[in-house]
């Protein structure tokens, strides 16, 4: 049975939707992988994308795993935020933005 190894899955994530640009084998050594991840991430960010590290047997399996994880994460986040909680979160954020605070100005 083939052993799992790290892959960089590069693309754009938008909730459960993933546009994968590439799935590249990543270095096995953690330090080398960290350096390579930083470099790949900078390149991906220039194109408004990101990089995920996925352990899989092949590049195709890594891509499929990244897609599954995106769907599962979107479901988990969506399930955890019911309409009441969303409204409360929006109200608390709105309270901070544009709130009226009394600011004293001293002129010399």
Give yes or no for a contact between 55 and 4, defined as CB atoms under 8 angstroms apart.
Answer: yes
Task: Identify whether 93 is part of a domain.
Answer: no
Q: How would you list the strands of the sheet with 50-56, edge to edge?
A: 17-25, 5-14, 50-56
Average pLDDT, the chain: 81
* Residue-level pLDDT at 79: 55
Q: Domain span at residue 59? A: 5-83
**Does an H or E element contain 88, and which?**
helix 83-96
Report yes or no on 94 lying in a domain.
no
Render pLDDT for 22-58 as a digit per residue (tens, 0 to 9). 999 999 999 999 999 999 999 999 999 999 999 999 9
Phi, psi of 71 (to 5 degrees): -65, -45
**Token couple for 103:** 């600011």
Is 103 within a domain? no
Number of folded domains that form the chain: 1
């Amino acid at each position: 049975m083939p052993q799992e190894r790290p892959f960089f899955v590069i693309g754009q994530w938008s909730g459960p939707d993933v546009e994968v640009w590439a799935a590249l084998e990543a270095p096995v050594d953690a330090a080398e992988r960290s350096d390579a991840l930083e470099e790949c991430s900078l390149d991906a960010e220039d194109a408004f994308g990101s990089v995920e590290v996925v352990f899989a047997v092949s590049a195709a399996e890594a891509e499929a795993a990244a897609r599954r994880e995106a769907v599962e994460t979107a479901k988990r986040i969506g399930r955890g935020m019911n309409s009441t909680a969303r409204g409360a979160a929006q109200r608390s954020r709105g309270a901070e933005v544009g709130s009226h605070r009394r600011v004293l100005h001293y002129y010399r």
